[in-house]
Amino acid sequence: AQSVTQLGSHVSVSEGALVLLRCNYSSSVPPYLFWYVQYPNQGLQLLLKYTTGATLVKGINGFEAEFKKSETSFHLTKPSAHMSDAAEYFCAANNDMRFGAGTRLTVKP
Amino acid sequence: EAQVTQNPRYLITVTGKKLTVTCSQNMNHEYMSWYRQDPGLGLRQIYYSMNVEVTDKGDVPEGYKVSRKEKRNFPLILESPSPNQTSLYFCASSSRPAEVYGYTFGSGTRLTVV
């Protein structure tokens, strides 16, 4: 079965700095990959997804992720963090939606 | 508005008292699923359903039951809740194939079993 590993349970950045949240998957077959965001006291909402085709995927709120088969990675980035990006982020793989443990992003003023 | 609705949002109950958490979606989705979220463990799937009258166990099904009598509803039943079922629960739905469409999640149910 697929497994997903998110490196770093907590990431803190300054407002305006680069956001990098790491996700690695384990599979010999490239999976479908997703990033979800969870704001406080809310459910998860889909940020972006990779199925096939272009390996650089753009999502909502200025986020993007790049699928790298050679590194089995799907890291999430945003060039400039905003205070409103503070949330928990989850990486997920494939149709059975195995989720990573989550990364809490804090944005400092 | 397209949404997944869970009720209640918060629930405190006592050990052994049967409870049901309801989940309803208005998007005509075939696929529905229940997850629990615990600190440091992410989301773990409890049960899922690929269509009416079709349900299957996820990774952590012990102590839970589900039913799918109608396409829109997928209730989660705890016959005899225990404190280790204290958690945040999410219902999710998707058009099939879920791997293409991704999930729409409900707002969550925070359950405390004392």
Whether pLDDT at A95 is above 60: no
Q: What was the pLDDT predicted at A35?
A: 95
Least confident segment among A55-69, B32-46, B71-85, B90-104: B90-104
Q: What was the pLDDT predicted at B34?
A: 96
Option in B90, B99, B108 nearest A95 (CB): B99
Q: Does residue B61 belong to the interface with chain A, where contact is any CB pair within 8 Å?
A: no
- Mutate one of A23, A47, A97, A98 to test the B interface: name it (highest B CB count within 10 A): A97
The mean pLDDT value for B67-73 works out to 97
Q: What is the Cα Rg of chain A in Å?
A: 13
Tokens for A57? 């995927």
The Cα B70–Cα A103 span in angstroms is 36
Q: What was the pLDDT predicted at A1?
A: 58
Please count the residue pairs, one from chain A and one from chain B, whose beta carbons lie less than 8 angstroms apart: 53
Whether pLDDT at A97 is above 80: no
Sign of CA dihedral B46, A101, A77, A70: negative
CA A60 to chain centre: 12
B45 to A101: CB separation less than 8 angstroms, yes or no: no
Q: What was the pLDDT predicted at A24?
A: 93
Q: What was the pLDDT predicted at A29?
A: 62
The Cα B30–Cα B21 span in angstroms is 19
Q: Looking at beta carbons, which residues of chain B come within 8 Å of A100? A: 42
At A84, is the secondary structure helix, strand, or coil? helix
| Per-residue pLDDT tens over the stretch B12-56 | 999 999 999 999 999 999 999 999 999 888 899 999 999 999 999
